[in-house]
Amino acid sequence: MELLKKTNVDFVGKRYFFYGVSGFFILLGIVSIILRGGPNYGIDFVGGLLIQIGFDKPVEMVALRSTLNEAGITGTELQSSGNSVILRVKHQNIDSDAFAAKVIDVLSQKYMEFKPVIERKEFVGPTVGRHLAKQAYLAVVFSMLGIIVYVAFRFHSGLWGTAGVVALFHDVFITFGLFSVLNKEITVTVVAALLTLAGYSINDTIVIFDRIRDNLRFYTKETFYKILNDSINQTLSRTVITSFTVFIVVIGLFLFGGEVIHDFAFALLIGVIIGSYSTIFIASPLIYEWEIFKKKRMQKIATLKYKK
């Protein structure tokens, strides 16, 4: 199926505009992270307690927060989810059973007619939090190294692998930064979504790289600039259809998947859009930038040899 037929867009020629767009979102993420004093890590990484309390009908969040504060239950983060409320406490040293009992006791007295009940309770200790953070860090590092080695081996050049991984970092960091802008927590589930996004994005990029490689082999008289543009245009229909179908699936998860995978789906939702954008507008132009740099360097070396 070919959705877009014989497009002839000069993607490489517009690269500086899209470098600017990417730079804006990267800078936005950096500024947000700095202003917030770092990423908003969830209790998976910093330790703490999560309690999900179900009610017969929705409760007013402002009144609920006020009730908890008056009872001396402070330092909590509240999140509404239908008829349920999720309460997070980022304290590493906390008696989870006693704290949960106190919360449900206070709410049962204030909201007796709403019939509050604990639906979920998760506690992560400081040791487990540090272990999960270390494992997440190693997973990200080894995933990126694996992708560089795989793409470099497949294309017999570290350049293609590096360009693909730069585009990957671009996708992951912008998604990470938007989580900071929206003050959403970085949890193990979100890290899993970022790694899934990395796999999706590099697969999409390799399709275009494959086409570039084939066109370089068959159209030896064409300029590298034209081959890059032709390759992106030839795979544009496939990229749009693939991204759209994935987007439909992910938005279904986001809207109807429930609270447990809500952040996972949200990260993928942003990631699919950014990944498709970088595949078309960032990854291939980066290779062109390197070719320009290499050509200028060779000309400079040749000039120096001629002068000698």
Could you tell me the two tokens for 212?
């570039």
CA distance readout (Å), 102 to 98, 142, 155, 160, 188: 6, 43, 61, 57, 28
Distance CA 306, CA 68 (A): 80
Q: pLDDT tens digits, the chain, 308 residues: what are they?
A: 556 677 788 888 888 999 999 999 999 999 999 998 888 888 777 778 888 888 888 888 888 888 888 888 877 778 777 788 888 887 667 777 888 888 888 888 888 888 888 888 887 776 766 777 778 778 878 877 887 777 777 777 667 777 878 888 888 899 999 999 998 888 888 888 888 888 888 888 888 888 888 888 888 888 888 988 889 998 888 888 888 898 899 899 888 877 778 888 999 999 889 988 888 888 888 888 888 888 888 788 777 777 66
- Compute the residue count for the chain: 308
Instruction: Give strand pairing partners of 78.
Output: 87
CB atoms within 10 A of CB 38: 9
pTM to 2 decimal places: 0.77
